[in-house]
């Protein structure tokens, strides 16, 4: 875990600039969310004041947000019932629930967008402060809540990217994959416990969809030729065997994802049909992407095309475009020629990009805390 650095609060309202910049919960912000653990006894002779704002967020999650996460009725029921039950027992899960619900309401209610977004940020930061220490005490008992905390953190970060032109730091282009893989890593550590626990079916359904990719493998899809040409280019220009294998394997897995997306109609697609790819790439590829290697960025640009197929899901709207914006700014002129097909397929025009990286407010500052 990285060392903590002290930053002074400037006490600005509704949230101070320093606290927002460094992903801290502002001690002067109004309505800071707090929860008591399930073991806390109520005050004698009275009832604590209800937090109607947070009750609204919880109600919205159970009746709307949870239903937007999957088309499978069993999975939707688990999201709307079992996940909140975990939240009542583990406060960091509840903060994750309320943060994601607030983002959903910010997406739906433009007139109150600023209020919901601010509340989402507060709950997200509170969840990180309470959930990150729980990772150090990982056990069979808290495996399921930590898995859900990680999953909710990933969903929040992905939704935040597409929602508000987020992706400021160069690290952001790869950090969302780190978050995705972290939740899967938790399952691998305590696989039986999570799969047989209260939210195990959520993981099982996603895993089955990823396995289906092997059955739908095809190279007869738009863009296949360009991916294969780039794979050939890598084979001819990269001498390091480990690096070459990392790239070619990532391309092979990406072709499988394209195969599924090209066969299934948009209405039948699930997020795991596309986001199975980050779980299947090697650690070597992720390391190359974190190093901002040009070839890795080109491969990621092709993946951005796939994410556009899921734009009907509110939490993924704009994700592909913002990802492509970052990739384009990180590529040199020689490698930009390799993403001409992704640009055309997404109808993404570089000349229309008028933002600088410093203007893109990072939603991934939280990732370093989660990674430890």
Cα(28)–Cα(305) distance, integer angstroms: 42
Complete DSSP assignment for 300-366: HHHHHHHHHTTTTSGGGTTHHHHHHHHHHHHS-HHHHGGGHHHHHHTT--GGG----GGGS--S-HH
Domain contains 207: no
Domain of 113 in residue numbering reads as 13-31+53-137
Domain contains 187: no
Count how many domains the chain has.
2
User: Where are the alpha helices (H) located in 215-282, listed in sequence order?
Assistant: 224-237, 241-263, 271-275, 277-280
* Whether residues 242 and 129 fall in one domain: no
| Beta strand residue intervals within the chain, DSSP E | none
> What pLDDT sits at residue 50?
84
* Whether residues 232 and 321 fall in one domain: yes
**pLDDT value at 218 more than 70:** no
Work out the pLDDT band at 79, boundaries 50, 70, 90. Answer: very high
> What pLDDT sits at residue 107?
94
Q: Residue 85 is encoded by which pair of tokens?
A: 């039950």
> What pLDDT sits at residue 22?
39
Domain contains 221: yes
Asked if 187 and 210 count as a contact pair (C-beta separation under 8 A), the reply is no
Cα(169)–Cα(262) distance, integer angstroms: 33
User: How much is the pTM?
Assistant: 0.78
User: Per residue in 283-322, pLDDT tens?
Assistant: 999 999 999 999 999 999 999 999 998 988 999 988 888 8
Domain contains 86: yes
* Whether residues 223 and 357 fall in one domain: yes
pLDDT top residue among 346 and 164: 346
Helices 200-211 and 143-163 pack at an angle, to 10 degrees, of 60
Domain contains 302: yes
Q: Residue 307 is encoded by which pair of tokens?
A: 């994410």
* Whether residues 117 and 239 fall in one domain: no
> What pLDDT sits at residue 116?
97
* Whether residues 24 and 117 fall in one domain: yes
> What pLDDT sits at residue 103?
96
Domain contains 60: yes
User: Per residue in 136-188, pLDDT tens?
Assistant: 888 999 999 999 999 999 899 888 875 444 455 565 677 788 877 877 777 77
Cα(291)–Cα(65) distance, integer angstroms: 35
Cis bond before residue 308 (omega within 30° of 0) = no
- Of 137, 160, 182, the residue that ends a domain is 137
Domain contains 181: no
* Whether residues 222 and 84 fall in one domain: no
Work out the pLDDT band at 249, boundaries 50, 70, 90. Answer: very high
Interval 346-368 mean pLDDT: 48
> What pLDDT sits at residue 343?
93
Mean pLDDT of the chain: 80
3-state class (DSSP) for residue 223: coil
- Of 94, 110, 137, the residue that ends a domain is 137
* Whether residues 123 and 219 fall in one domain: no
Domain contains 1: no
Most confidently modeled range among 21-25, 45-49, 152-156, 221-225: 152-156
Asked if 185 and 130 count as a contact pair (C-beta separation under 8 A), the reply is no
> What pLDDT sits at residue 111?
96
- Of 119, 137, 155, the residue that ends a domain is 137
Cα(80)–Cα(82) distance, integer angstroms: 6
Burial of 113: CB neighbours in 10 Å, binned 0-12, 13-18, 19+: middle
Non-local (6+) Cβ contacts of 334 within 8 A are: 294
> What pLDDT sits at residue 92?
97
């Amino acid at each position: 875990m990285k060392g903590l650095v002290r930053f002074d609060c400037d006490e600005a309202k509704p949230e101070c600039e320093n606290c927002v910049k460094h992903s801290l919960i502002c001690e002067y912000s109004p309505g800071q969310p707090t929860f008591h653990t399930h073991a806390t006894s109520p005050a004698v002779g009275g009832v604590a004041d209800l937090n109607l704002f947070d009750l609204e967020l919880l109600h919205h999650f159970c009746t709307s947000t949870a239903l937007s996460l999957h088309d499978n009725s069993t999975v939707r029921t688990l999201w709307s019932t079992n996940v909140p039950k975990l939240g009542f027992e583990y406060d960091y899960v509840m903060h994750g629930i309320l943060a994601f619900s607030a983002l959903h309401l910010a997406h739906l209610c433009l007139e109150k967008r600023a209020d919901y977004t601010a509340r989402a940020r507060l709950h997200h930061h509170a969840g990180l402060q309470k959930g990150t220490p729980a990772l150090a005490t990982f056990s069979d008992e808290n495996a399921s809540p930590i898995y859900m905390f990680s999953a909710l953190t990933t969903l929040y970060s992905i939704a935040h990217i597409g929602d508000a032109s987020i992706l400021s730091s160069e690290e952001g282009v790869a950090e969302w994959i780190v978050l995705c893989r972290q939740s899967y890593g938790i399952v691998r550590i305590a696989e039986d416990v999570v799969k047989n626990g209260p939210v195990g079916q959520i993981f099982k359904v996603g895993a089955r969809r990823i396995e289906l990719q092997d059955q739908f493998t095809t190279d007869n899809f738009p863009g296949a030729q360009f991916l294969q040409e780039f794979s050939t280019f890598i084979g001819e220009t990269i001498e390091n065997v480990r690096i070459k294998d990392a790239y070619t394997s990532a391309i092979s897995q990406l072709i499988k994802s394209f195969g599924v997306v090209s066969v299934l109609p948009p209405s039948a697609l699930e997020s795991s049909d596309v986001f199975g790819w980050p779980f299947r790439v090697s650690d070597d590829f992720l390391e190359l992407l974190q190093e901002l290697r040009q070839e890795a960025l080109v491969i990621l640009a092709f993946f951005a095309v796939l994410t556009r197929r899921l734009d009907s899901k509110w939490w993924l709207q704009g994700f592909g475009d913002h990802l492509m914006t970052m990739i384009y700014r990180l590529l040199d002129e020689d490698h930009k020629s390799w993403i001409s097909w992704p640009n055309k397929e997404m109808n993404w025009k570089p000349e229309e990009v008028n933002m600088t990286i410093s203007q893109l407010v990072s939603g991934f500052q939280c990732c370093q805390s989660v990674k430890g």
